Amino acid sequence: MVWGMSERSSFGEFWPSGKFEGDRGRPGGGWWERLIAYYKDQMPEEQRAVFDDASRNGPGNYAYFVFEKFIRELGTATNPEKPPISPIEPHEPPRWFETRKPYSALGSLIELNNRMLAVDEPLKEIIERFEPAVHQFFPIEIRMPRGKTFPRGFYTLVIGRYLDSFSPQDSREGSWRADGQTHYFYEQTKRGITGLAFKKSIFNGAHLWRERRFSNFLTCFSDELQAAIAESGLRTPPMYKMKEI
C-alpha cells in the first residue's frame, strides 16, 4: 500500500512557528541575510551573473534559489530564466531555527518555514535503513526563547526521489482538480487524500518520495516505511492510506 501526507495548515508540534537563524526583519530571517552576504562577498563574479536580471535583485534571487533547493527536485527549473536546481553547497543549509515560543514537544517529522521538512535522529535512521544514500539530511538546531534549545537534534530532510505514479482516472471524483495541462491540486483532507490512486508499477520499490505532478506538495510513504515508523512509536503528522492500482 501507499500512504500520503499533506502540508501543515496550522502551527503546533508538527509546524513550529519561527524563523531560520533568527528574525532579522526578512522573510527568511538570518539565513536569508547570510546567503545574501555570501553572494556579495564570496561568490565568484561569473556565478553572480547567473542570478542578475532586470530587477537587479541578484542577491535575493540567489537566496530564493537556495530555499528552493530544499523542496524541489534536483535538475528541475521552476523559472525558465533561472538555472535548474543544483546540489546543495556546504554553506547553504540553515544552521538553526528559532521558535517564537517554547515547545515542550515536537513531532519526529516537522515542517519548518518555506515548506521545508525536518526529522529527528530516530526517524532519520529509519529512512536511511530503507533508502540509504537516496535522501539528504543536514543538521539543524531548534532554538527557543530565553536561550533554551530543544533537547532532541533535528535534520532538514531533502527528499531525493520524485515520481509520476498518480493516476487521475483511477482516483475518486472530487479528490483532485487540474492545474493546467500537466499538473494537479489534490484536496488536502483525509477524504481527498484517501481518494487518490497511484500506479504500483511505477512506485514499486520506493519508500519515500514526492509526486512531481502535484502543485501542492504530497509526500508519499511505502507501507513498509509507514509500518516501521508506527512500530517505533514516533509521532508524525497524519498519514492516510491511498489507493494503489
State pLDDT tens for residues 32-90. 999 999 999 999 988 888 888 756 788 999 999 999 999 999 999 877 778 899 999 99
| Chain segment 143-174, per-residue pLDDT in tens | 999 889 999 999 999 999 999 999 999 999 99
Which of 179, 169, 170 shows the shortest CA–CA distance to 212?
179
Nearest to 111 by CA among 99, 122, 101, 102: 99
Looking at every residue in the chain, the average pLDDT score rounds to 93
As to burial, measured by CB atoms within 10 angstroms (0-12 exposed, 13-18 middle, 19+ buried), residue 82 is: middle
pLDDT at residue 77, as a whole number: 86
Check if the beta carbon of residue 131 is closer than 8 Å to that of residue 49: no
**Over the stretch 85-107, which tens digit does the pLDDT of each residue have?**
999 999 999 999 999 999 999 99
Point out which residues pair with 15 in neighbouring strands. 12
- Residue 1 pLDDT > 70: yes
Q: What is the pLDDT of residue 146?
A: 87
Question: What crossing angle do the helices spanning 121-130 and 223-232 adopt, rounded to 10°?
Answer: 150
Give the pLDDT score at 49.
Answer: 86
Residue 82: per-residue pLDDT: 80
Closest CA to 93 of 116, 109, 121: 116
CA–CA distances in Å: residue 104 to residues 43, 61, 101, 151, 201: 40, 36, 10, 9, 43
Residues with Cβ within 8 Å of residue 163, at least 6 apart in sequence? 202, 203, 206, 209, 210, 211, 212, 220
Least confident of 15-19, 24-28, 124-128, 234-238: 24-28
> CA-to-CA distance for 52 and 49, rounded, in angstroms?
5
Supply the pLDDT for residue 132: 98
Please write the tens of the pLDDT for every residue from 170-201. 999 999 999 998 999 999 999 999 999 999 99
Closest CA to 156 of 211, 203, 92, 199: 92
